[in-house]
Structure 1
Amino acid sequence: MIDFIRRPFGHEPVLKKEEIGRKKKKEDQRANDITGTLKRMWQFISEERALLYGIIFLVTLTSLLSITGPFLVGYIVDNYFIPGEMDGLSTILLFLLVVYILLSSTQYTAAFFMVGLSQRTVYKLRSRLFSHMQKLPVSFYDKRQHGELMSRMTNDIETISQTLNTSFIQFTTSIVTLIGTISVMLYLSPLLTLLTVLIIPVLIFAVGFITRRTGPLYKKRQRATGELNGYIEEMVSGQEIVKVFSQEETAIRNFNEKAGNLRDITFWAFLYAGFIPKVMNMLNNVSFTIVAGAGGLLVFYTDGVVTIGTIVVFAEYARQFTRPLADLSNQFNQVLSAIAGAERVFGIIDSEPEKDEGKITGRSIAGEIEFDDVSFSYDPTQKTPTIRNLSFRIDAGESVALIGATGAGKTTVMQLLARFYETDSGEVRIDGENILDYSRSTVRSQTAFVLQDPYLFESTIRENIRYGKLDATDEEVVEAAKLANAHDFIVALEEGYDTVLEADEGFISQGQKQLISIARALITDPAILLLDEATSSIDTVTELKIQEALERLMKDRTSIIIAHRLNTIKAVDRIFVMELGELVESGSEEELVRQRGRYYQMVDDNK
């Protein structure tokens, strides 16, 4: 991620030199893909082309009506007010009123339809992004901050929504108004038109100077916002760890640094963008002065070259001439920001989804597991694989414990069994078939996971347990809770199974959360049960309840348990001792103790 050297407020942030080379090429590619991004956005709108063309027609009509109004005012001045002619004045004034009423009506109607079109488009884009995120592999999320991903779904999509709501109509209106205004101005007085457009070179220079700076800054602002959101999400999720290690000041300091980066970038982006209306207002006044001064001289010193009515029209058109240019300049920054957000969204949509090409689908799994000379690394550049040349076999219905120091590869074994990752070499087999030949849904639907840190959704206890099997009856939910020894404490709650678990709930313990997560896994009646440190964060009383439940649950079910505490694996059939990604010992507890090898040393160390 890009960081900025911290500078006193009011000084433009400068990229660190070491970051420039690493990010410049990627940024340039993004900046050059504006056309491609707009084409992809068009794909989301193309289904409503008829409505879009109708909106363009209304916007064009609005612009023409806005041009007609001043023209009629000039006509009234020259043909009625100056000569003192009153006949027909009421008719043309009524017509002018109708023009302005139609102008307001078409503006509102176009805005009404555009809001609906833009929100439907954003809905499709947001749904497409969320749906695609559900198809991405676990490895995708492991490599990214969750807050950064959330920023794509919220901030970036919202920026696109705002741009579609306002910028499209503004752009179309400005272009039609600009063309129409210049056309009428040329018709009325080419000379005054020439004097009016003298400001264009200054305008182009000023806008170019500003947008060359605001464009990159808006991109950096989008990125800095994502980084800050990611950090906030990380700190909120890890607040207990922050407090345990008394790192509140460090968290505040890091937050202030990231927020300061965003502040400085936003300061300069908004400062430069704020120059545009100021410059436009100044040029508008200059243009008005030129028209009024030159027009007045032409009226007094020439014979009919221009009329007073023409000067009135030009005075208004001079404002209408600069206004669309100002709108185009203002909206340009918003569009650049939206394109940057769209690129970030499409960057996720373009990520390779998790493939599910296995030919074996719907088959019941018995639970026989075999690792045949398996090696795997999370990082291809890693010199030493996480697991290497790992081979073992677990019979259907057998229970096995994986033990070993942190980093031994125990969790990786489960990650490979769940097909969260694929092996670098060797084969993982289930019931004698390569796991790659199974569809992921077939394997995962018959495998239950109980993780070290239970995650419960903000819903009722009943629905949290039912999440493992959405069509489960209430009786099945209760039965799963009883098997997990969770039923007694659930019914003791005031709302029982209908108790809503909220993010900040404090009425159930960590151990009780784990019991609910075990019930959620058990309701699927899995062929394979994977327990990753399921009892590591549980009090002694609750641990005894889980041990009692495990003895029942592991019967006739292939079970793999990861545990650091050796007293939690007494009931397993075999124990696998792992070190540095290799299997160094295997056998029953009695066999391993008799061998007086690595397991014996671990037992002795725990005495």
Structure 2
Amino acid sequence: MRTPMKGGSSGKAKLKHPKETMLRLFKSLFKGRVHIFILVFICIIVSAISSTYVATLLQSLIDDYIAPMIGQANPDFGPLLKAMTKWAIIMVFGIIAMYLMSRLMIVVGQDYMNKTRKDVFKKLESLPLSYFDTHAHGQIMSVITNDTDTMNQMITQSFVNLVSSTFTIIFVFVAMVKNNLILTAVVLLTLGLIFFTMKKIGGKSGSNFVLQQANVAKVNSHIEEMISGVKVVKVFNHEGVAQTEFDDINTKLCSTMGKANGYANMMGPLINNLGNLQYVLFVLVGAMIAMDSKLGYTIGALAAFLQLSRSFTNPVGQIAQQMNSILMALAGAERVFELLDEESEVDDGYVKLVNAKYVDEVLTECPEKTNLWAWKHQHKDGTLTYVKVEGD
């Protein structure tokens, strides 16, 4: 009975080849699915434009429709209703685009993972016995299950959110520049503090997520080895040692998982609170600008900018939260690709078992099943001989 493989359970974990792994993952993901991804990107752009346009329409609603009705004895709500209907229609288009995008990525993710699992299983069948002697079975199982699951989560969720958030940030930034340059400059200044927080906390969280995936594989490996060899464990009274080894591995997993999720769960509230402080700062600066009649900055423009600032900060926080899932998926993808890159065993045998039949009292190979088997010998001179299987 083998013991679980050692190493890599402590310290600061790093991906070996993150860029190469990312490029290989997306190259294989896009292969044969370019038309689907074109539709996905169209949906992402429609959704980003929709959310940005809805925020900018707030200025028109306040300045052109709501403000003029203030103080009127019999205000006409017809134009406001038409504007809000237009607003609602644009929002519906954005919601439909998001729904289609999610459905398409689910189909892509499941199709890709189905193919990946088949490739991994086919590869396992071609590997020599020496591979299975040097790699714990639990770790191999972890590649097929845990690592492929993290890849699927990244493809169906993290990747879409990352791309969608990036496009939203770009469109919203352009809208903020058009709205007010001074407030946009304030956004960029406060954004530096947010990025600093993301880098510090996200770095610690990411390294622990990579360690977590490695330790999950070790726990699976140890459990599989102990269960498959339970008779040997009991015969040699190895229960205490097995329990001690499991406690050690499980403690390391608990530690890395706690740190990874602790830092990850800390990220969202911190970014949101920094966003709230940013929002208050925008209100103060925007109010001072609006009070100066020479600048011609209206309340509607300020309200629109505040909405845009929310649409700008939230995607930044989403990107920070998705980075941990992406790191986990890349760590899993590295192990999957390492297994797929293992050298297959070469079959150098020249004797094959084939279906056979007698033709003119001569034994020969045939494609159909005859319940008669023969050993097919291919000789160096190119000749073939067939020997009937007689239970040898």
TM over 0.5: yes
Give the residue type in structure 2 aligned to 1:348. Answer: L
Query: Any idea what the Cα deviations from partners look like across 1:569-599, whole Å, max 9, x if unmatched?
Result: xxxxxxxxxxxxxxxxxxxxxxxxxxxxxxx
Question: Within 5 A, what are the aligned runs for 1:1-400?
Answer: 1-2=6-7, 15=11, 30-31=15-16, 33-45=17-29, 46-84=31-69, 86-358=77-349, 360-362=350-352
| Cα distance in 1 between the residues matched to 2:296 and 2:182 | 9
Deviation at 1:239, TM superposition (A): 1.5
| Contact 1:288-1:318 at 8 Å conserved across structures | yes
**Closer, same or farther: CA 251–283 of 1 in aligned 2, 3 Å:** same
Give the residue type in structure 1 aligned to 2:331. Answer: A
Partner of 1:516: none
Partner-residue secondary structure (3-state), 1:362: strand
| Cα distance in 2 between the residues matched to 1:169 and 1:348 | 27
| Contact 2:353-2:375 at 8 Å conserved across structures | no
Query: Any idea what the Cα deviations from partners look like across 1:505-556, whole Å, max 9, x if unmatched?
Result: xxxxxxxxxxxxxxxxxxx8999xxxxxxxxxxxxxxxxxxxxxxxxxxxx8
Partner of 2:358: none
Give the residue type in structure 2 aligned to 1:39. Answer: L
Question: Within 5 A, what are the aligned runs for 1:206-605?
Answer: 206-358=197-349, 360-362=350-352
Partner of 1:19: none
Query: Any idea what the Cα deviations from partners look like across 1:200-252, whole Å, max 9, x if unmatched?
Result: 11112111112222222121111111011000001111112222333333322
Give the residue type in structure 2 aligned to 1:124. Answer: K
Larger RCO (CA under 8 A, 6+ residues apart)? 2
- Structure 1 residue runs of 5 or longer lacking an equivalent are 5-13, 16-23, 365-470, 477-523, 528-555, 559-607
| Cα distance in 2 between the residues matched to 1:283 and 1:302 | 30
Deviation at 1:318, TM superposition (A): 1.4
| Contact 2:8-2:214 at 8 Å conserved across structures | no
Query: Any idea what the Cα deviations from partners look like across 1:63-85, whole Å, max 9, x if unmatched?
Result: 11011111112210111111116
Partner of 1:464: none
Q: TM-score, normalised by structure 2?
A: 0.85
| Cα distance in 1 between the residues matched to 2:353 and 2:192 | 73
| Contact 1:3-1:261 at 8 Å conserved across structures | no
| Contact 1:147-1:226 at 8 Å conserved across structures | yes
| Contact 1:196-1:290 at 8 Å conserved across structures | no
| Cα distance in 1 between the residues matched to 2:374 and 2:205 | 58
Q: Percent identity?
A: 25
| Contact 1:60-1:172 at 8 Å conserved across structures | no
Deviation at 1:305, TM superposition (A): 3.4
Deviation at 1:339, TM superposition (A): 0.6
Partner-residue secondary structure (3-state), 1:246: coil
| Cα distance in 1 between the residues matched to 2:199 and 2:152 | 26
Deviation at 1:196, TM superposition (A): 2.1
Partner of 2:385: none
**Closer, same or farther: CA 163–262 of 1 in aligned 2, 3 Å:** same
Partner-residue secondary structure (3-state), 2:347: coil
Deviation at 1:262, TM superposition (A): 0.2
| Contact 1:44-1:125 at 8 Å conserved across structures | no
| Cα distance in 2 between the residues matched to 1:162 and 1:363 | 44
| Cα distance in 1 between the residues matched to 2:329 and 2:370 | 44
| Cα distance in 2 between the residues matched to 1:363 and 1:340 | 42
Q: TM-score, normalised by structure 1?
A: 0.55
| Cα distance in 2 between the residues matched to 1:122 and 1:112 | 16
- Structure 2 residue runs of 5 or longer lacking an equivalent are 1-5, 70-75, 355-368, 377-389
| Contact 2:353-2:374 at 8 Å conserved across structures | no
Partner-residue secondary structure (3-state), 2:289: helix
Greater radius of gyration (CA): 1
| Cα distance in 1 between the residues matched to 2:7 and 2:204 | 18
| Cα distance in 2 between the residues matched to 1:249 and 1:526 | 52
Detail structure 1 runs of 4+ shifted over 6 Å in the superposition: 524-527
Higher helix share: 2
| Cα distance in 1 between the residues matched to 2:353 and 2:113 | 40
| Contact 2:290-2:296 at 8 Å conserved across structures | yes
**Closer, same or farther: CA 113–286 of 1 in aligned 2, 3 Å:** same
Partner of 2:361: none
**Closer, same or farther: CA 187–362 of 1 in aligned 2, 3 Å:** same
Deviation at 1:344, TM superposition (A): 0.3
**Closer, same or farther: CA 116–245 of 1 in aligned 2, 3 Å:** same
Give the residue type in structure 2 aligned to 1:66. Answer: S
**Closer, same or farther: CA 363–253 of 1 in aligned 2, 3 Å:** closer
| Contact 1:280-1:326 at 8 Å conserved across structures | yes
| Contact 1:148-1:227 at 8 Å conserved across structures | yes
Give the residue type in structure 1 aligned to 2:245. Answer: N
